[in-house]
Amino acid sequence: MKRIIENAKANVNVVGLTFTDSLKTIFTDSGALLIIVFAALFYPVVYSIGYNNQVVTDIPVAVIDNDNTALSRKIINMVDATAAIKVHKSVTDMNMAEQMFWENSVMAVIRIPNGFEKDIMKGKHTNISLYADASNFLLYKESLKSTMEAVGTFSGGVEYKRFLTKVKMPELAVNNISPMNTRVQNMFNPSGGYGHFVMPGLMLLIIQQTLLVGIGLIGDAGRERKRNHTRIFGYNLAQYPFAAILGKSLAFFIVGMFNVLFGTILIYNWFSFPVKGEFINVILLSVPFLLSVVFLGMIISMIFKHREHSIIALVFLSPIVLFISGLSWPVEAIPGFLHWCFNIFPGNMAIPAFIRLRTMGVELVYIKYELVFLIVQMVVYYIVASLCYKMVLKCENVKM
């Protein structure tokens, strides 16, 4: 019994000693401090400022008005009145418009054909052409959407006046051109902004990647400086690998939790991100997520002998991790096997769960699958990291 109590005390002491040592290392290693703390705080602010406008506005377009009538000028004014499009210049032919497009002074070209007003007066079908660069998806989408809205409104007005001259009943004319009304409500993203869509998940991804790189830097830096990490204040860490890993992980966990709080409280308030969920649920999800990331980082740090190697590996994987997370492309459109392969990164499960908790306001019971997955992942990574750490220390003892 006495031996069990002494062993428990030793484990507690190792946890405390490795915790303070790791925390000290984080704030004394300039490279790790830059990545884990400053980069994790700096990137969300910069990205949020960049996305602050939320939607694309005032896209410069050129207009070719081959009709030059009252109705053609009216529809040009209606297009210009939309939020997304700004008529930059009216030109006389396609060659001039094409030159402006190649010079990047306009992003799209609208062409109104000759005889536009005459065809409308006769009740004939006519066309308005839009030439837009589909390689820039956001500009193309907004240009097309705004032009169609203006043309649709203009066409509705023409139909209304035409029908009104026949029946002399305004209400019947309105019902004839619009027999069914559509009500659109943007749920969980009232502004429909891109920043409100991408930033919540991107913040978690930034925290994950900066923690992984920072832990890799600290782990490899110790080897490069040839510091003796096999003992600490008389304790042989090879005998207490689980306690040592737990102590080290708590130091990184505290820094990671600070980054989570910074993002979910300050960033959300500064940039008015939509919030519906309970904050306590976010914290409960963040615990297994952060610990899983920390344990994974420790495993990676024990694979490479030099910090440059871990940085190269993580930088190589970062674009793929971003893609697989579903922030740049829907998860449903990604091949299932590819998505499952990258579930080794905790953010793959944490990001959609976080968005549903914080933005949609669901309860924990609705993310139980993701939560259980993260808890199991945390336990597995903790065991693997501890066993790897014990193996590394034994190898270092043999070399000594």
Each residue of 67-118: pLDDT tens digit? 989 988 999 999 999 888 999 888 888 889 888 988 888 999 999 999 988 9
The pLDDT score that the predictor gives to residue 203 is: 94
Return the residue matching tokens 């500009």: 139
CA end-to-end distance (rounded Å), the chain? 34
pLDDT in tens, 219-249: 754 444 444 456 666 677 778 889 999 999 9
pLDDT in tens, 318-342: 888 888 888 878 888 888 888 888 8
pLDDT higher at 166 or 222: 166
The pLDDT score that the predictor gives to residue 162 is: 65
Cα–Cα distance list, 238 to 52, 134, 136, 148, 225 (Å)? 50, 59, 56, 69, 20
| Average pLDDT, integer, range 1-26 | 85
The pLDDT score that the predictor gives to residue 311 is: 78
Q: Which element (helix H / strand E) includes 111?
A: strand 108-112
- Which of 220, 398, 373, 231 lies closest to 298, judged by CA? 220
The count of other CB atoms within 10 Å of the CB of residue 329 is 12
Compute φ and ψ for 361, nearest 5 degrees: 80, 25
Cα–Cα distance list, 280 to 35, 252, 266, 302 (Å)? 27, 21, 16, 34
The pLDDT score that the predictor gives to residue 166 is: 64
The pLDDT score that the predictor gives to residue 332 is: 80
The pLDDT score that the predictor gives to residue 221 is: 43
3-state DSSP assignment of residue 132: strand
| Domains defined for the chain, CATH in brackets | 2-52+191-399 (no CATH), 59-177 (3.40.1710.10)
The conformational region for residue 234 under phi > 0 = left, psi -120 to 50 = alpha, else beta, is left
The conformational region for residue 361 under phi > 0 = left, psi -120 to 50 = alpha, else beta, is left
Q: From CA 74, how far away is CA 104, in angstroms rounded?
A: 26
Torsion of CA 370, 375, 378, 382, to 10 degrees: -160
Q: Which element (helix H / strand E) includes 248?
A: helix 241-261
The burial of 135, by beta-carbon neighbours within 10 Å (0-12 exposed, 13-18 middle, 19 or more buried), is given as exposed
Q: Is the pLDDT assigned to residue 152 strictly greater than 90? A: no
Angle at 205 between CA 320 and CA 378, to 5 degrees: 100
Which range is most confident: 11-15, 22-26, 139-143, 373-377?
373-377
pLDDT in tens, 298-313: 998 888 777 777 778 8
| Average pLDDT, integer, range 351-366 | 91
- Average pLDDT score over the chain: 84
The pTM for the full model equals 0.82
| Partners of 61 in beta bridges | 87, 108
Q: Is the pLDDT assigned to residue 28 strictly greater than 60? A: yes
Stretch among 111-115, 117-121, 378-382 having the lowest mean pLDDT? 117-121
| Average pLDDT, integer, range 16-36 | 89
In Å, the largest CA–CA distance within the chain is: 103
Per-residue pLDDT band for 400 (boundaries 50, 70, 90) equals very low
| Average pLDDT, integer, range 44-64 | 87
The pLDDT score that the predictor gives to residue 315 is: 81
Cβ atoms of 309 and 220 within 8 Å: the answer is yes
Cβ atoms of 58 and 79 within 8 Å: the answer is no
| Average pLDDT, integer, range 136-161 | 81
| Average pLDDT, integer, range 278-293 | 95
Q: Which residues of 275-308 are buried (b: 16+ CB within 10 A; e: fewer)?
A: bebeeebbeebbbbbbbbbbbbbbbbbbebeebe
| Average pLDDT, integer, range 26-52 | 89
> In this structure, which amino acid lies at residue 23?
L
Return the residue matching tokens 């790791």: 22
Q: Is the pLDDT assigned to residue 195 strictly greater than 60? A: yes
Q: Is the pLDDT assigned to residue 187 strictly greater than 70? A: yes
The pLDDT score that the predictor gives to residue 164 is: 61
| Average pLDDT, integer, range 356-385 | 94
- The strand pair at 85-91 and 59-65 is best described as parallel
Q: Is the pLDDT assigned to residue 172 strictly greater than 60? A: no
